[in-house]
Structure 1
Amino acid sequence: MTIRRRDVLVLGSIVTTIYGLRAVPWERLTGRGLTYVEIEDVPPFRRLKSEGKTSSASVALIGIDGPSDDAEVRRARMEALRPDPCPALFGSALTSNAVPIAYFSEFRCPFCRALEQDLDNLMADNPATYHLVQHELPIFGPASELAARASVAAARQGRQQDLRRRFMRTPLVANESSVRRVASDLGLDLEQLAKDMVSPEIQAELDQTRALADLFGFIGTPGLVIGRTVLNGAIPPSMLRQIAKDEKTLSLPIC
């Protein structure tokens, strides 16, 4: 597929607009701080409370799932995680002294591209305070599925974020050729990557991520679980930092 210069400029304009809107400290303009309410069926997690209603903080979502052919299987996976979602959600981050941040993303989501820069800044400013856990949630078809598999497979070789950034921050479209080219540029073992991408273990990880998304009600991307706080959608940098700061005051481990 050919990416035209006009398409790149349009996408750049969209992302720039998103950054501008998200940079406004909305919670200060309203004169209110952040208020949280518990998610009753998934303790100890909570959401933001807005105007007396439980909300997911933003309507800036990309990708809305339609009816699923495997709805019953997905429901069973979701319910299996409900009693104790933390190991699947945070993994090894549960054993650290840092506040875990689970991040659900999609390669073709411009809101994810904007949010990732804010997350990078937060992590750079507080390297020992927060621990980021990546979850790939492909919702835009075969290209997204391929990129997600490549990302999870690259994690086996310690280069997940390097590969992700190449696809997230350039106009590359994921196909077999581009995945191999990027992996080769990064010095990955191409044969091992190809085997891992089609392995049952990678499929199980993607299925688990989908089950977590279903459990927390992520109808699109980006999705975040910052400590105990669940958010679906892009949020301004000031709100991200305030939630992270609030979570830092609470006891660890999360669950």
Structure 2
Amino acid sequence: MKSLTTIFAASIIAFTPISAMGDQLTGDQIKKLALEAILENPEIIRDAITLLQEKEELAKREERKAVIQSQIVALEQDENAPVLGNPNGDVTVVEFFDYNCPYCKSAVPMIKAAIKNDPNLRIVYREWPILSEGSMFAARAALAAREQGKYEELHWELMEVRGRIDEAVVIKAAENVGLDVDKLRTDMKTPQIDAHIEKSMQLAQLLSFSGTPSFVVGENVAPGLISPNQLQDMIDEAREVQAAKE
């Protein structure tokens, strides 16, 4: 990456009349001009840093959009991923989460409200257990609960737990929702569960997610906890984009 001094110098030269520069400036003269400009206008540093950050963020957003476009089927239509809400809905919200993530639990009221208020919304869950061994056990148990038709029940039960989730907590939650625990333990070892978690890890890496929760809605991503208004804006935009394509 170019140094800030070089960037400042290039900017100065770009807006300096040729007659004022003479035939040619040496490297030392360019640096001197840049340093003089900084001393006279220190806000240049702030503005340049802001500009660089904006360019980096824009580049990151474009990279993520490209990933979403190439992985849209894996993100939205994976038959090995749990779906809540309307399975045939016109907009899909993909959430990467961990049962030991307090921010994921904070997002529960928002997700429940979105499902209740929008009959055409699909929620695809990507179990992404990255915080502890307890997280991994919980993710495997939740995915295994699909075999008994109780993924949603166990999911919400685990999300209501306050404090750390470990094996004992998961088993108690499974009993609370009426799961056959012996069958659950057997089903937790199936290849489908390994495949789901591995795919979550791959997608999260491709999207440069660094923590939970992280959301994908249409071509937009939100790495981190968002407000209900932010989620609704993403849903509305995805719906508008889709309508424009039809």
Deviation at 1:251, TM superposition (A): 1.6
Q: Which residue of 2 aligns with 1:116?
A: 108
Equivalent position to 1:131, from 96, 119, 122:
122
Deviation at 1:44, TM superposition (A): 7.2
- Larger mean Cα displacement after TM superposition, 203-212 or 148-157: 148-157
Query: Percent identical across equivalent pairs?
Result: 28
Larger helix proportion, structure 1 or 2? 2
Q: Deviations over 1:171-197 (max 9, x none)?
A: 264333332222222122323211121
Gaps of 5+ in 2: 1-57
Gaps of 5+ in 1: 1-35, 46-82
Q: Which residue of 2 aligns with 1:149?
A: 140
Equivalent position to 1:39, from 43, 50, 62:
62
- The residue correspondences of 1:80-229 to structure 2 (distance < 5 A) are 84-91=70-77, 96-127=88-119, 129-171=120-162, 173-229=164-220
SS in 1 for 2:66: coil
SS in 1 for 2:148: coil
Deviation at 1:213, TM superposition (A): 0.5
Distance 1:112 1:87 in 2: 24
SS in 1 for 2:123: strand
Distance 1:176 1:111 in 2: 21
Q: Deviations over 1:120-139 (max 9, x none)?
A: 11111012x21000111111
Distance 1:43 1:224 in 2: 16
Distance 2:127 2:239 in 1: 25
Q: Which amino acid aligns with 1:210?
A: M
TM-score (norm 2): 0.65
Length, aligned pairs only:
181
TM-score (norm 1): 0.63
Q: Which residue of 1 aligns with 2:238?
A: 247
Contact 1:172 1:178 in 2 (8 A): no
RMSD of Structure 2 on Structure 1 (CA): 2.8
